[in-house]
Chain A
């Protein structure tokens, strides 16, 4: 059992959402035991952008739901989707 890497797509509530603040909030919301590995803005459509978030955690941590929940609770976040999962 090793480290699991998970990609997440965070969608803001609107195209007007302050993306810098959102990224900062994401950084602060990452739960204990989970490492933030990268964040980048991704253009979706019609001026809308998502934040692509990459995190790692031990396989034994058992799932990424705690990260998904923590990010979902951030004000200004509309949804959080897992885009990829694999062992490091």
Chain B
């Protein structure tokens, strides 16, 4: 593979709005679907007496290919543009996978929000939810693919595109997206309009093709300039080595010789050596999964859920924090006093919804209700949270990877959110 920059691209959107079809179309038109697969399916189509070659069969074929010899890497479909090498994550529909997207390690660099322009579609419940999640996941680069333009009434009409675009714009503003950085593009994934070449059917559109919008994305910067934050996954005592915490650098840089502190354990030490795979490395950067040997601490001093920072810029352990949350699913209503488990980096801590401050209107972003008495599924709200025991969380604006969390209760992912303010101890 050439030295093109790599991008992780996540596809999100309401059920049936065409995420998988758009992914399949991209793979087909960028030449990723092997010719033999297409040929095989053409033959099958002919045998079955079907005259036309159905795109859906290509999708099936792709799935079958992936079913063989499967690893997580294979499931992340790859393709190239002239500028980038992309891997695609097609987001699961079920809400309980949200926790995986938030605490799991495969961070998306950009998202494609697929919104159907077919009659009766447009912005739907899951469109809202996914937009909020993308924001929560720290995805700042967004492409809005307004799909099924062929099925608009009348087909391919500009007004419908503009109407849907306006609705999505309102929604994006609610959660804080800067609209001038968001790319909008009308497509038909099924009929292949405006995917890799401009379409005769959408002559009124003077903007980029879908493929061009992908090339317009910016190379994600590694968050090396941020303060060091490394959530501890496990701690080992290794004979002949000493105490070895293991974890992934979320941001900042950790070098051998650095003076570090673990919070909330509040234990200080010095990094002796860092290893990744079989090698000793002088420094660990964001994304590196490392083990490091620490002078001055023992295995019982620190544990999973602690976060490593430099001694002169330690991780924050707030008394309370203010969060923006989206209630994804709750059987009844959430009132002040509710105490579910917050999953934030590698920590799991029960936290109290101490104060429900504001309910926001997902359509406009305006405050819909001050001091609401309860929150229900679908609500977006500003709440004050009090952890029941010390935990590290940061303002998402300052240190994004440590500012997001998933809320679990009764075996379900109840909510997802972002820390927007901190009350220091």
Contacts and interface: CB of A to CB of B under 8 A. Distances in A.
B100 A64 contact: yes
A83 to B, nearest CB: 5
Nearest to A58: B94
Contacts of B277: 43-45
Contacts of A82: 99-100, 103-105
A60 interface: yes
A79 B289 CA distance: 15
Given A45-B291, A46-B244, A78 B101 contact: no
B103 A11 contact: no
Interface in A59-88: 59-65, 78-79, 81-88
Contacts of B412: 62-63
B70 A87 contact: no
Given A44-B246, A46-B291, A84 B72 contact: yes
Nearest to A38: B71
State the main secondary structure of chain A at its contact with B: strand
Contacts, number: 133
Contacts of A2: 20, 63
A15 interface: yes
A56 B70 contact: yes
Contacts of A14: 236-238
A7 B20 CA distance: 20
A48 B236 contact: yes
A86 B76 contact: yes
Contact of A11 (B67, B99, B105, B234): B234
A22 interface: no
A61 B101 CA distance: 16
Interface string B43-80: 00000000000000000000100110011100110000
Given A46-B241, A82-B100, A87-B91, A5 B70 contact: yes
Given A60-B94, A86-B75, 18 more contacts: A1-B93, A5-B75, A11-B234, A45-B274, A46-B238, A46-B275, A46-B293, A47-B238, A63-B94, A63-B97, A78-B234, A81-B346, A82-B100, A83-B72, A85-B97, A86-B106, A87-B75, A87-B92
Interface of A: 1-2, 4-7, 11, 14-15, 37-38, 43-48, 54, 56, 59-65, 78-79, 81-88
9 A-B pairs closest in CB distance: A45-B291, A63-B96, A45-B275, A7-B72, A87-B90, A85-B100, A5-B75, A62-B96, A82-B104
